[in-house]
Amino acid sequence: MKMICTLLLSLFAITALAADPATTPATAAPAATQTPIVKVLLQTSAGDITLALDAKAAPATVANFLQYVDEGFYNNTLFHRVIPDFMIQGGGMQPGMLEKPTRAPVVNESANGLKNLRGTVAMARRQHPDSATAQFFVNLVDNAYLDSAAGKPGYTVFGKVVAGMEVVDKIARLPTTRRGMHGDVPVDDVLIISARRLP
């Protein structure tokens, strides 16, 4: 009975989202147009970080992330949340902690078999599973409790750091402070100067 209630609640949530185009999660692009592994270079004020994105495991998420990359959305945004022994988060705030407007959220793909292990890249989201937009985080340690489990959506892993993990660790060691309603903000801005695809 509990499972049936959960299923009905899930269906209701999906229906409610579908009624509002502004909050309807993006769907995956056709498989034929996807490259299984795509690399993205994040040039940051702390050094370069190269990500390898897994479009086979997380097609909708990678397509969403790459659209933001190609539009230049991540340029001059911050790694605005840094928690040692947990993760560093960025991709949505401009200097001054001004949040950038985003497109509609992307569907949650956390049941894709990829785990929140050290060095992996995952989508940040709100409480609703299908609420991820542009912000992402890099896991500093294995964060198994962020993975999906039976009846519990997790945080979608869609790639990993393949170069520059020392830069990620350097960012993780920076002193942080509170700015308004935001905690764990680096005292000195850590800027994503640019994000671009690599050939």
Phi, psi angles (nearest 5°) of residue 149: -140, 175
Q: Which domain holds residue 183?
A: 2-197
Q: Give the residue-averaged pLDDT of 20-41.
A: 59
Q: Give me the pLDDT at residue 33, please.
A: 52
* CATH code of the domain containing 135: 2.40.100.10
Please state, in angstroms and rounded to a whole number, the distance separating the CA atoms of residues 183 and 136.
17
- Which whole-number Å values give the CA distances from 142 to 33, 116, 121, 145, in the listed order? 32, 6, 12, 9
Confidence band, pLDDT 50/70/90 cuts, at residue 37: confident
Residue 47 has pLDDT above 60, yes or no: yes
Total count of domains within the chain: 1
Nearest to 117 by CA among 69, 159, 78: 159
Residue 15 has pLDDT above 90, yes or no: no
DSSP calls for 36-101 = SEEEEEEEETTEEEEEEEETTT-HHHHHHHHHHHHHTTTTTEEEEEEETTTEEEESSEETTTEEPP
- Location of structure tokens 């994040």: 42
pLDDT tens track for 58-106:
999 999 999 999 999 999 999 999 999 999 999 999 999 999 999 999 9
Give 12: exposed, middle or buried? Use CB within 10 Å, 0-12, 13-18, 19+: exposed
Length of the chain: 199
Tell me, what amino acid is at 83?
A: I
Which helix (H) or strand (E) element contains residue 170? helix 165-172
Q: How far apart are CA 8 and CA 6, in angstroms?
A: 5
| Amino acid letter for position 172 | A
